[in-house]
Amino acid sequence: MEFAKKILCIGAGYVGGPTMAVIAAKCPQYKVTVVDINKARINAWNSDALPIYEPGLFEVVKQARGRNLFFSTDIDAAIDEADIIFVSVNTPTKSFGEGAGKAADLQYWELTARNIVKVSRVDKIIIEKSTLPVRTAEAMGRILNANEKGIHFEVLSNPEFLAEGTAIEDLNDPDRVLIGSQLTPEGVKARSQVVEIYANWVPKEKIVTSNVWSAELSKLVANAFLAQRISSINSISALCEKTEADVTEVSRTIGMDSRIGKRFLMSSVGFGGSCFKKDILNLVYICQSYGLTEVADYWESVVRMNEYQKRRFVQTMLKAMFNTVAGKRIALLGFAFKADTGDTRESPAIEIAKQLLEEQARVVISDPKALDNAKIDLAPYVDSDRIEFVEDPYVAAKGAHAIAVMTEWNAYKTLDYKKIFSSMERPAFVFDGRNILNHKELFEIGFNVFPLGQPTLKHF
Ligand SMILES: NC(=O)c1ccc[n+]([C@@H]2O[C@H](COP(=O)([O-])OP(=O)(O)OC[C@H]3O[C@@H](n4cnc5c(N)ncnc54)[C@H](O)[C@@H]3O)[C@@H](O)[C@H]2O)c1
C-alpha cells in the first residue's frame, strides 16, 4: 500500500508509544513507525506484554500494529524514509556540570538530531515532542541545518499534554493540541502539515498554533501551574491539621468558584511523575539564567513544598506511632506515582519508603502494577530483610502495625478493612496519603486514622 505520509517517532516511551499508536489508529492512510535504542522495549511493543501499562493502550496498539504501526530498532532506515519525525526521547534533569540538578539534559536530543542529519537525504520536518527548554528549537535548527548536503530541516514544537493513566482518553479527545513553528513561510507550511495530521480526529478549534518559543514555554508553564495547585493545597493541609479545619471541605468550597475550578485540588502525600519536578526545575534554571531571581524562587518553592509534604507525612507517622517505627511492619498501599499506571518515576512512595527504612521500619511494598519498577527504585535495599514486595494488599497488611496509602488505586477504596484490621498488630494505624478511604468507617472498625489535612480519629 502507498501511504500518504511516513511518520516516524524516535523514542518509544510513555509518550512516543501511546501517541503514535493513536495517530496510527486514527489515520490508516499514514505509515507510523516508532523506533528506540532500547531493543527490549521495542520487543515488548511488538508483543502482547506492552512495556507500559495504560488503560486502553493494548486495544489501540492491536488495532494498528502490523497494518500501519510498526515498532523497530532500525533507526537509520526509519529516518531515511520518514517525511515527518517526532522526537520523544527522554530529557531528564542534568546530573552533572553547569546547571546540575535543574537544567534539562539534552544529550539524547542532540545525539538524535546529529543522527538525523547523518542519515537524511531529503528535507524533513522535525518535531519536538519531548518537553524542552524554551529556545531549544533554535539550537536544534542550527545543528540540523549545519549540513553540507543542502537539506533543510524545519523544527517545530508539538509538546505533549497527555497524563499517564488517562493517556489514551487524552489523546483521543485532547483539551488542545499545540503546534509551534517559526513564522517564516517554510515554518508555517510545515506547521500546516502537522495540523493536517491531528485534524483527522481533533476538532480544528482545539488545534492551536503559536510561535515555536511560546509552544516550548507553554508546556513548562502548564506543568508548573498544575504542580503549583497541588503544592498550594498541600500547604493548606498542614495548616488544617493545626487548626482543625478540614482540607477536603476547603478544597470543595474553593473549587466551586468557577474562577478556580475543582481539578487538582486534592491534598496528597505529594506530586510525582517524571515531569512536574523536572519541568519546574528547568523553568527555574531558565529564569535564573536570565537573571530573574524572584521568578525562579517563586517556582522553586513549589518543589520545596512538595519535598516538605513527603517529610511531613513520615513525621506524622513517627509521632503517631510513639516516636519510633523501628522493627514495626508498615504496609505501603501503592507505589506508582498515581493510579492506573505502573510508572514510579519520582513517586512520593520512593522517598517515604526510604525514610521509613532509614528509621529501621520493616516496609512492605504493595502495588497492582508497579512492583517491578519499585524493586528498581529501591535496589540498594532489595536484599535487606526489612523490605518485602507483595502484590496482594491483604498479605502486605498481615501483621502490620500500620498501613499507609501511597497511590489512589480504586481497588484500595473497597478492600475488606475489617479483615485487614483483624490481621494487624494493635494499635492499628492507617495513614491515608491520598484521602481516599472512608475514615469514619475505619475508625469504627478500630483503626487509628490519620488523614491529610483533616482531624485525626484516635482511640487513645
Ligand atoms: N511521561 C509523561 O507523562 C509525559 C507527558 C508529556 C511530555 N513528556 C515528555 O516527553 C519526553 C519523553 O518522556 P517519556 O515519559 O516518554 O520518556 P521515556 O523515558 O519513557 O521514553 C524515552 C525513550 O527514548 C529512548 N531514547 C533515548 N535516546 C534515544 C535515541 N538517541 N534514539 C532512540 N531512542 C532513544 C529511550 O530508550 C526511551 O525508551 C520527555 O521530554 C518528557 O518530559 C512526558
Which segments in the chain show pLDDT lower than 50? none
The pTM of this model reads 0.96
Q: How far is the CA of 12 from the centre of ligand 1 (A)?
A: 7
Please count the residues of the chain.
Answer: 460
E strands in 263-335: 329-333
Distance 93 CA to ligand 1 centre (A): 13
| Distant-in-sequence, close-in-space partners of 223: CB < 8 Å, separation ≥ 6 | 131, 275, 276, 279, 280
pLDDT given at position 64: 98
Residue 274, ligand 1, Cβ within 6 A: yes
Say if residue 230 is exposed, middle or buried (CB neighbours under 10 Å; 0-12, 13-18, 19+): buried
Residue 410: the pLDDT is 98
373 lines ligand 1 (CB under 6 A): no
Gap from CA of 112 to ligand 1 centroid (Å): 12
Nearest Cα residue to atom 18 of ligand 1: 13
What's the pLDDT score for residue 76? 98
Categorise residue 208: left if φ over 0, alpha if ψ from -120 to 50, beta otherwise: beta
Assess whether the C-beta atom of 187 lies below 6 angstroms from ligand 1. no
Q: Which residues contact 419 (CB under 8 A, 6 or more apart)?
A: 394
Q: Which residue, judged by its Cα, is nearest atom 21 of ligand 1?
A: 13
CB within 8 A of 64, min separation 6: which ones? 21, 24, 25, 28, 32
Place of cell 492507617: 430
Which residue owns the Cα nearest ligand 1 atom 13? 90
**Which one of 8, 9, 10, 15 would you pick to mutate in the ligand 1 pocket, going by the greatest count of ligand atoms within 8 A of its CB?**
15
pLDDT of 282: 95
pLDDT digits (tens, 9 = 90+) for 406-427: 999 999 999 999 999 999 999 9
Catalytic residue numbers read 275
pLDDT at 11: 97
Name the residue of 275, 282, 344, 376 whose CB sits within 8 Å of the most ligand 1 atoms, as the mutation to test its pocket.
275
State whether residue 116 is helix, strand or coil. helix
Q: What atom of ligand 1 comes closest to residue 104's alpha carbon?
A: 41
- Which strand (E) or helix (H) includes residue 448? strand 448-450
Helices (H), 104-204: 107-119, 136-145, 167-172, 185-198
Distance CA 345, CA 374 (A): 9
Q: Which residues pair with 72 in a beta bridge?
A: 35
Distances (CA, A) of 130 to 297, 320, 441: 25, 43, 45
Q: Which amino acid, residue 310?
A: K
Q: How many angstroms separate the alpha carbon of residue 258 from the centre of ligand 1? A: 35
| Residues whose CB falls within 8 Å of the CB of residue 453, separated by 6 or more in sequence, listed in order | 236, 237, 238, 240, 241, 245, 246, 247, 248, 250, 267, 435
Domains in the chain, ordered, with CATH?
A: 5-202 (3.40.50.720), 245-460 (3.40.50.720)
> What pLDDT does residue 344 have?
98
**Contact of 393 with 386, CB cutoff 8 Å:** no
Residue 369 to residue 337: CA distance in whole angstroms: 11
Ligand 1 geometric centre to CA of 281 (Å)? 18
Transcribe 366-418 into DSSP letters: E-SS-HHHHHHHTGGGTTSTTEEE-S-HHHHHTT-SEEEE-S--GGGGGS-HH
